[in-house]
Amino acid sequence: MEAERILVVDDEVRVVETIQFFLEREGYIVGTACCGRDALSLFRGSPFDLVLLDISMPGMDGFHVMEQLLEINPELLVIMVTGYATVESAVRALKQGACDYLKKPFEYADLIKTVKNALNKKRLMLENKAMTARLEASELRCRYMVNNSPDLIYTLDPKGCFTFINNEFRRVLGYSRISVLGKHFSHVVHPDDFKKCEPGMVPGVMPAEGGGAFQIRFKKARLKSETDPCNDFIWVELKATFMRLPEGESQIYCIARDVTERNNLHEQLHQAQKMEAIGTLAGGIAHDFNNILMGIQGYTSLVRSTLAPESPEAIKLSYIEDYVNSGSDMTRQLLGFAQKNDHELNFVNINYILKMSAKMFGRTKKDITIHQNLEKKLWSCEVDEGQVQQVLLNLYVNAWQAMPSGGRIYIKTENLIVPELKYKALGLKKSGKYVRVSVVDTGLGMDSKTMERIFDPFFTTKEMGGGTGLGLATAYGIIKGHGGTFRVLSKKGEGSSFAFYLPAKELQSNRCSLDGKKSEVIINGKGCVLLVDDEENVLEVCSEMIESLGYSVRAVGNGRDAIEFVKKNGKNIDLVILDMVMPGMNGFETYQRIKTIQPETKVLLSSGYSKIEDLGEIFDSTLGNFIPKPYSMALLSEKINRVCALG
């Protein structure tokens, strides 16, 4: 067989030479070009089976070159290559006709695998094209091809009853030929979708030849072992054509392609784009909101420090601090939903988080009774405790909203071993040990349409102002991010059952930091502290807090003023408390400049938005030189003392 011809186009000569060397070693004939015009000229003069095309080139970019190449040969296979890959560039390349996408730098094996896959695809296309012509003359070959097709193929009589189904139809939907043949088409179509079918699918009316494809849902045969209603239907892209056979009989020929996964991917892409915009908004809100909370927390701590710990006033102020912490948790939830926050994973006993969240929720919802049935020897799960608490609270709120006149919530935890044959049906990534948490309410329940969209972002059944539609979407994203899944059962008027699965290990863990008590010991000290923050209210309250701890304070509102102060008074500064998010010169740059001027300067980093992992090398895990806003006077005193003592 003659060796395939491959054209490599890249403006970097070394890249071209390297790819050429690897491909020729595999036995391919390779042509090269370093710009779009040379590539087009070479392609017109000599045909190629495959083109490896760089996107970013001077003059004519890869997208323009691909467009002209496909005009010359519409069947040409093009693999786009780039060192600056993004979701948008990948989607654009595939939409414009590329068969695959390769990101630089790539391994030799990845290059060869991608090339071979593309050439195999071309060979299959040519073989299928040739075979199609032969199939018209051979009923036996036709049956063979139809029954080995990855698509669902079937035929209907003029009344809309099944006369044939292929093997894929049986495999995907689970029906036997006996159970389907002779039955009407509506037997397998979702009731809400039958009206969307072409007029030709209605009994007695034939479809127009060459009609366009449309999407509907097919009902799967219910297996005894399958109890999940979310797995009852698949989305298919359906195309139907009327044919009159030589003997005078008429048939409706139908091809349906399972596009469930494709639709899910499209939805994920759409959601990712939406979440990107929300993430930007969430970051700004969280930063500003935490600065406001800092003022409330700071002045509360100042007043509380002047009172006896057990006095009624001090106790009431502690309640204010609890509300501040709740507000801070709200920003954490907002950032977590937008994937902008750092999450700490630990092996924990979910029962502890569940008890804590149920207690918190029960304080304000006296018309709701929560019943707990918890596994005594529950396995441990590696989770972010705050996020799991957030999931549970969202489920409680959802249940409460479904019971406007009050009701009962039943919570259950249990250990489960999911077998190899069942994990995919449950929506899990692998088999093994899991903890299942069930939250069941006695509320209004949901119809099938609502259940299908219950986890969609911004979907809500409440009136304007009654909810954002983000609660369950957030919960779903958190559980999926932990390698778990959600299952929902509900019926109108009979309540709802939400269950989530989390990967588990057979460990007994009592860890749950949410249930611990925060230190309220205030440590006084001496020295000079330089406070750097762009928010005036934060400067005011934090200055008072630091002074009340016994330190002298110099407050500045931006990084440049901080650097000037260090230049003049660096030797007299014992500690710098530095906000990381500031306009102009941010905290990172300010930190580097201060360390350059005065390397021995001790710095305590502060932010209501930044992640610890984003701090990189400037975060010292031994010192713990980071304090998140809002912070209490006790925590501030502890951090100052630690950094000054160990720094």
pLDDT tens-digit map of 235-269: 999 888 888 777 777 888 899 999 988 887 887 77
Whole-angstrom distance, CA of residue 156 vs CA of residue 183: 10
Whole-angstrom distance, CA of residue 479 vs CA of residue 609: 23
- Predicted confidence (pLDDT) per residue in 79-110, tens digit: 998 877 677 887 888 888 888 888 888 889 99
Tell me whether domains 5-134 and 350-510 share a fold: no
Highest mean pLDDT among 112-126, 230-244, 357-371: 112-126
Q: Domain 350-510 class?
A: alpha beta
- Which CATH entry fits the domain spanning 139-258: 3.40.50.300, 3.30.450.20, 3.40.50.720, 3.50.50.60? 3.30.450.20
In the structure, what pLDDT confidence band is assigned to residue 35 with cuts at 50, 70 and 90?
Answer: very high
pLDDT of residue 515: 38
Higher pLDDT, 162 or 387: 162
Backbone angles phi, psi at 476, to 5 degrees: -60, -45
Predicted confidence (pLDDT) at residue 621 exceeds the cutoff of 90: no
Domain locations along the chain: 5-134, 139-258, 268-337, 350-510, 528-646
Predicted confidence (pLDDT) at residue 29 exceeds the cutoff of 80: yes
Predicted confidence (pLDDT) at residue 332 exceeds the cutoff of 80: no
Predicted confidence (pLDDT) at residue 323 exceeds the cutoff of 50: yes
pLDDT of residue 306: 87
Rounded to the nearest angstrom, the gap between the alpha carbon of residue 595 and the centroid of all alpha carbons in its chain is 38
Predicted confidence (pLDDT) at residue 512 exceeds the cutoff of 50: no
Please spell the DSSP secondary structure of 78-131, one letter per residue. Answer: EEEEESS--HHHHHHHHHTT-SEEEESS--HHHHHHHHHHHHHHHHHHHHHHHH
Q: Write the single-letter amino acid at 442.
A: T
pLDDT-above-90 percentage for the chain? 34
- Angstrom CA distances, 586 to 39, 551, 578, 597, stand at 46, 25, 10, 17
- Predicted confidence (pLDDT) per residue in 68-84, tens digit: 999 999 889 999 988 77
Average pLDDT in the 176-180 region? Answer: 91
pLDDT of residue 175: 92
Residue 577's beta-bridge partner residues? 531, 604
Residue-wise burial string across 383-420, b where 16 or more C-beta atoms lie within 10 A, e elsewhere: bbbbbbbbbbbbbbebbbbbbeeebebbbbbeeeebee
Please spell the DSSP secondary structure of 373-408, one letter per residue. Answer: E--TTPPBEEE-HHHHHHHHHHHHHHHHHT-TT-EE
Average pLDDT in the 319-332 region? Answer: 79
Which of 15-19, 381-385, 454-458, 625-629 is predicted with the least confidence, judged by mean pLDDT? 454-458
User: Under a CB-based contact definition with an 8 Å cutoff, are residues 139 and 145 in contact?
Assistant: no
Whole-angstrom distance, CA of residue 331 vs CA of residue 551: 31
Q: State the average pLDDT for the chain.
A: 83
* Domain at 5-134: CATH architecture: 3-Layer(aba) Sandwich (3.40)
Predicted confidence (pLDDT) at residue 30 exceeds the cutoff of 90: yes
Whole-angstrom distance, CA of residue 397 vs CA of residue 613: 32
Average pLDDT in the 436-463 region? Answer: 74
Whole-angstrom distance, CA of residue 272 vs CA of residue 293: 30
Residue-wise burial string across 4-23, b where 16 or more C-beta atoms lie within 10 A, e elsewhere: bebbbbbbeeebbeebbebb
In the structure, what pLDDT confidence band is assigned to residue 530 with cuts at 50, 70 and 90?
Answer: very high
The single residue listed with the structure tokens 């000599």 is 46
Predicted confidence (pLDDT) at residue 340 exceeds the cutoff of 50: no
Whole-angstrom distance, CA of residue 457 vs CA of residue 473: 5
pLDDT-above-70 percentage for the chain? 85
Residue 477 token pair? 């994203």
Q: Give me the CATH topology for the region 528-646.
A: Rossmann fold (3.40.50)
pLDDT of residue 207: 46
In the structure, what pLDDT confidence band is assigned to residue 228 with cuts at 50, 70 and 90?
Answer: very low
- Predicted confidence (pLDDT) per residue in 541-552, tens digit: 999 999 999 999
pLDDT of residue 457: 57
Highest mean pLDDT among 86-100, 431-445, 506-520: 431-445
Whole-angstrom distance, CA of residue 224 vs CA of residue 136: 41
pLDDT of residue 287: 76
**Does the predicted model carry a pTM greater than 0.75?**
no
pLDDT of residue 334: 63
Average pLDDT in the 440-468 region? Answer: 64
Average pLDDT in the 593-597 region? Answer: 93
- Predicted confidence (pLDDT) per residue in 343-366, tens digit: 668 888 999 888 878 877 776 677
- Angstrom CA distances, 493 to 430, 441, 443, 484, stand at 35, 11, 7, 28
| Residue 81 neighbours by CB distance under 10 Å | 27
